[in-house]
Amino acid sequence: MSGRGAIQWPSGASYDGDLCGGFIDGTGSFKGVDGSVYKGSWRMNRKHGMGTMVYANDDTYEGLWNEGLPDGFGKYTWVDGNIYIGLWKSGKMNGRGVMQWTNGDTLDCNWLNGLAHGKGFCKYASGACYIGTWDRGLKDGHGMFYQPGSKMPCNLEVSECVTDHDVSSSSSSGNENINSSLLFLFQKLCNTWRLHSIFHWPRRISNGTTPVFDDNSGNNLSQDSSTVPLTTDNCVQDSGVDKVLVYEREYVQGVLISENPKCHDSGMLDSGKTQEHTWQMQTGGPMETIYKGHRSYYLMLNLQLGIRYTVGKITPVPLREVRSNDFGPRARIRMYFPTEGSQYTPPHCSVNFFWKDYCPMVFRNLREMFHIDAADYMMSICGDDSLKELSSPGKSGSIFYLSQDERFVIKTLRKTELKILLKMLPKYYNHVRAYDNTLITKFFGVHRITLKGGRKVRFVVMGNMFCTELRIHRKYDLKGSTQGRSTKKQNINENTTLKDLDLSYVFHVDKPWRDALFRQISLDCMFLESQSIIDYSMLLGIHFRAPHHLKTSSSHQSSLERCGIPDSDLLQYEEKSSWKGFLLVAHEPGATVGGSHIRGSMVRASEAGYEEVDLVLPGTGRFRVQLGVNMPARARKVHEDTNTELENPDTIEEYDVVLYLGIIDILQEYNMSKRVEHAVKSLKFDPLSISAVDPDLYSKRFVKFLESVFPEQD
């Protein structure tokens, strides 16, 4: 069958349109058994290209299709009048898009697997506006709430106009749909190439990290929480203070936990620049994707080419035990990469460079030790997606990059740091092999790129401690010293890594977990002390769970049912408290959410009869509990006046938290420069309060401080 024709099936389905080689291929109209109608492009019996689908329940999708599913730019209109315009992927809302409800509420946000997930802003029908972060469809983290009548950031105006134009054209023709698609893609291009100042369009909001609508069966997309109109979320309560129009808010899983007034109506008319800066601060993520023209673009290409070459070269070699000659600066692979290619290297579009890979067999064994597949490793770092560069480099001047899946961190090294790493590598290898639950940074590769002119850039590839589906609400870098260990309040935002003196919580964990944690910390500190290492710190990431007393029991139970966890399998992780804590279930291999932390024995919970357990987070997933990874705990806020808590127990602030922790920055020796620093600073400050101290004292002070952060329970 080829050419124009019509097909009528015995089931009642029919097709009228182009055919080619016996397949539905071209343009045509298909009517399903259920009454649904599709008009548009086809390829090999599948909807592919531009098309319009009217589902059996009168929902409508207009836009791009790929292999039978909405994929690309499109518009979905529900029968009740709700509309989504934006990007789709594999039948789900994925990417930047705008949802407008029939009550007038509008959400312009990033979406992932059908749920609002990432930076965005919501405009309510009342005129109020919220700018912040969403996580799996719920507000999560810091944001700014603007009361009706307050001056909005000017950056929102154009996006609003584009949204209103697209939404109002619900009856537009196919050409108009294509124009709106081109307009959307043009806006995306302008954002990518940073042309905001020319066109005055809003800065692109960076994507977030995990999960509504499936269409695998060809049926209409089912109604979901994302199509339920938003509420102004405590707007009525806000109106109690007449003059306050702007609030800084913090949410945890959709629950408002703090609110501070920021502006008053007396100064709102002159605060345009301040409001615009606030919007940019809220939308500007902690990292940016490296694009062509970026200062690190060619460096990224060189790094990807080199890793792809050396991993591909070392992987076919049979796995064996490392030898003494596998260590040291002379154990290396060297290669020259000309742009036109060579007998051993492919042609590329970067610049000529020399590549050196240090101790390839050692790091190959380390990757195997941590169950990192060579193909996954290359795809994560060297795949089609670009790396992401952290916008704020470390204090040492090092630049950090993240793989697109955020499993690996790539850090630039100084020459002295490279020498220390290669020097300690044999002992590090033995330590990591002996203690699979070590909290020390996990190294997966060390490389050097030499560019034209002799410029040398050294890299180390490490595991990302915060590679998790959970949002990290607070990050702390803890050393145990006090001198200079605080952050100025005006410099703090949701992406700031705080320090020792900023920590206002103590954490209570299950006794077996605490014992195992400090046993491992002591072993790791002994190793670092033996290598004369100082200045290391404990990187602590905290994910706050919504306070249970602010949730209804019915909503909590329904979220458990969605997780598929029967009541008989639940183990209540409860302490001496009147409200429930985490839910633990017996460990089941293969049932937990995957991640980069898959090596190491699981810790055992006393509440579960000292069995290995998984952590169940309702509405989120099931996580494998390991030392320093997915560790449930209870955070208690420490007040300066302890008498207040004794007199009024209601003032005690406690939260369920999930902790991620590891020891980082382990490449600083206690050398002559550090001895001089210690001597000079001791003249002005308490010698015990400064960071540069003897490795033995540093280790003891470090452990003692962490014991105060994780106190024993009574």
pLDDT digits (tens, 9 = 90+) for 286-336: 678 888 888 889 999 999 999 999 988 888 888 889 999 999 988 999 999
How many domains in the chain?
Answer: 3
Return the CATH number at 406: 3.30.800.10
Q: Give every CB contact of residue 448 below 8 A, 6+ residues apart in sequence.
A: 355, 356, 358, 418, 456, 457, 458, 459
Higher pLDDT, 245 or 267: 245
Per residue in 591-650, pLDDT (tens digit) is 555 555 555 666 666 655 556 777 877 667 778 888 888 888 989 988 765 555 545 555
Per residue in 518-529, pLDDT (tens digit) is 999 999 999 999
C-alpha–C-alpha distance, residues 190 and 212, integer Å: 28
Higher pLDDT, 422 or 256: 422
What pLDDT, on the 0 to 100 scale, is given for residue 605? 64
Q: Which domain holds residue 144?
A: 2-151
At 712, give phi and psi (nearest 5°).
-70, 145
Residue 613 host element (H or E): strand 611-617
Residue 679 lies in a domain: yes
Q: How confident is the model at residue 244 (pLDDT cuts 50, 70, 90)?
A: low
**Coil/strand/helix, residue 500:** helix
Per residue in 149-185, pLDDT (tens digit) is 777 665 554 343 334 444 334 334 444 444 444 444 4
Residue 542 lies in a domain: yes
Of 58, 61, 33, residue with least CA distance to 47: 61
**Same domain as 101, residue 134:** yes
Which residue among 464, 482, 509 closes a domain? Answer: 464
**Same domain as 488, residue 373:** no
Q: What is the mean pLDDT of residues 6-14?
A: 91
pLDDT at 493 over 90: no
What pLDDT, on the 0 to 100 scale, is given for residue 598? 55
**Same domain as 474, residue 458:** no
**Same domain as 143, residue 18:** yes
**Residue ranges of E strands in 129-223:** 129-135, 138-139, 141-146
**Same domain as 480, residue 341:** no
Which residue among 432, 464, 496 closes a domain? Answer: 464
**Same domain as 404, residue 473:** no
**Same domain as 425, residue 499:** no
**Same domain as 446, residue 313:** yes
Strands 287-289 and 388-390: antiparallel
Residue 376 lies in a domain: yes
**Same domain as 479, residue 444:** no
Percent of the chain with pLDDT over 90: 34
Return the CATH number at 656: 3.30.810.10
C-alpha–C-alpha distance, residues 409 and 400, integer Å: 7
What pLDDT, on the 0 to 100 scale, is given for residue 548? 55
Which residue among 440, 464, 488 closes a domain? Answer: 464
Round the average pLDDT of the chain to a whole number and report it: 77
**Residue ranges of E strands in 368-441:** 388-390, 400-402, 408-413
Residue 183 lies in a domain: no
Residue 411 lies in a domain: yes
Residue 242 lies in a domain: no
Q: How confident is the model at residue 127 (pLDDT cuts 50, 70, 90)?
A: confident
Question: How many degrees, rounded to 5, is the angle at CA 64 between CA 386 and CA 88?
Answer: 50
How many Å is the Cα radius of gyration of the chain? 28
**Same domain as 505, residue 451:** no
Per residue in 559-587, pLDDT (tens digit) is 444 445 554 444 444 333 333 457 777 77
pLDDT at 265 over 80: no
Residue 211 lies in a domain: no
β-strand partners of 264: 244
Per residue in 639-660, pLDDT (tens digit) is 765 555 545 555 568 888 999 9
Return the CATH number at 117: 3.90.930.1
What pLDDT, on the 0 to 100 scale, is given for residue 651? 59
C-alpha–C-alpha distance, residues 69 and 63, integer Å: 10
Strands 83-89 and 92-100: antiparallel
Residue 488 host element (H or E): none
Residue 427 lies in a domain: yes
- What type of residue sits at position 369? M
Name the least confident of 60-64, 240-244, 648-652: 240-244
- What type of residue sits at position 9? W
Higher pLDDT, 162 or 589: 589
**Same domain as 403, residue 422:** yes
Per residue in 421-456, pLDDT (tens digit) is 999 999 999 999 999 889 999 999 999 999 988 899
Six-digit token string for 587: 């460990």
Q: Find out whether 103 and 125 touch, Cβ atoms under 8 Å.
A: yes
- What type of residue sits at position 412? T
**Same domain as 446, residue 543:** no
